[in-house]
Amino acid sequence: AQSVTQPDIHITVSEGASLELRCNYSYGATPYLFWYVQSPGQGLQLLLKYFSGDTLVQGIKGFEAEFKRSQSSFNLRKPSVHWSDAAEYFCAVVAGEYGNKLVFGAGTILRVKS
Amino acid sequence: DVKVTQSSRYLVKRTGEKVFLECVQDMDHENMFWYRQDPGLGLRLIYFSYDVKMKEKGDIPEGYSVSREKKERFSLILESASTNQTSMYLCASRVSSRSGTSGLQETQYFGPGTRLLVL
C-alpha cells in the first residue's frame, strides 16, 4: 500500500535561513506527489505537485521540490524563509484503484524564529 | 476562484447525538472527499464520492456515513457521536478521476475545516 513518511515532526529555522522539509514515499509505479501547507486555523493550500518530466518542480510562495526516484523522496525547499511561512506542511501521494484518494504524511510543523 | 465551504468552523456535541457536517463546492467538481485530521496522524480519508449518489469507503469509515444528493454538496454524518470522533474534519473536491488518468493530476481543493468536540 502507498504510504508517505515525513520524518520531522517539528522544524525550527531562523528567518532568512534556508529550509528543507523531508518526504519519503512508498509506491510501486511513478507517483503523483503533492505538497500542501496549512496555516493555523485554515484548510490546506496546494504548494506544488509532481507528475512527470522535470524532477525539480516550482511552486507558489517561492517553494520548490525535487523528485528523486532512487531515494523515493520528494523534499520541499525554500532558499530564504519568511516569518509568514510558519505553518504545518503535508506531503501526499495519489493512491487507490482510480487514483481517487490522497495518502498524507503526518505533517511537519515549521516554526520561524526572528 | 475555487471555493469549498464547510457549514461550521466549530461544533460542540454530546455523546450519542447525530451530527451533520456539510460541505459545498462551487466548481462543478465530480469528486468530493471527507478527511479527519489528528495530530501526528496527518489526514485520513473517511469517505469519498465520485459523483452524485455515488460513494466509497475510505480508510476509516467506521462510525460515519455520507450523503451526496446534489453535485455541489457532500454531507458527513456521525450517527451517534462518540468522544473518539473529536477531531478536525476537512472536506475537499476535485475534477473526476474515473476516466483514464486525467483526474490523477488534478488538485484537491480543501475547505477551511470543522473542528468538532464531542463531550
Instruction: Give the pLDDT score at B97.
Output: 57
Instruction: Give the pLDDT score at B105.
Output: 63
Which CATH number goes with the domain that contains B77?
2.60.40.10
Beta bridge pairs of residue A4: A25
In angstroms, how far is CA B55 from the centroid of its own chain?
A: 11
Where residue A98 falls among pLDDT bands split at 50, 70, 90?
A: low
The mean pLDDT of A73-98, rounded to a whole number, is 92
A11-15, A69-73, A92-96: least confident range:
A92-96
Instruction: Give the pLDDT score at B107.
Output: 82
Euclidean distance between CA atoms B118 and B107, whole angstroms? 31
Chain A interface includes B81 (CB < 8 A): no
Where residue A35 falls among pLDDT bands split at 50, 70, 90?
A: very high
Residue whose C-alpha cell is 469549498: B4
Euclidean distance between CA atoms A12 and A1, whole angstroms? 32
The mean pLDDT of A56-60, rounded to a whole number, is 95
A44-58, A85-99, B43-57: least confident range:
A85-99
Q: Which amino acid is at A73?
A: S
Q: Among residues A110, A109, A105, which one has the least CA distance to residue A90? A: A105
CATH number listed for the domain at residues A3-113: 2.60.40.10
Residues of B whose CB is below 8 A from A42? 112-113
Q: Among residues B88, B95, B69, B79, which one has the least CA distance to residue B20? A: B79
Chain B interface includes A100 (CB < 8 A): yes
Instruction: Give the pLDDT score at B102.
Output: 54
Domain that holds residue B112: 4-97+106-118
Instruction: Give the pLDDT score at B104.
Output: 59
Domain count, chain B: 1
Residue whose C-alpha cell is 486555523: A41
Euclidean distance between CA atoms B47 and B67, whole angstroms? 10
Chain B closest-CA separation from residue A59 CA (Å): 13
DSSP letter at B87 equals E
Give the list of residues 6+ apart from residue A70 with CB closer than 8 angstroms, or none: none
Q: Which among B33, B56, B104 has the least Cβ separation from residue A94?
A: B104
Above pLDDT 70, what percent of chain A? 96
Q: Among residues B7, B1, B3, B21, which one has the least CA distance to residue B93? A: B3
Q: Please state the domain extents for chain A.
A: 3-113
Residue spans of chain B under pLDDT 70: 1, 97-105
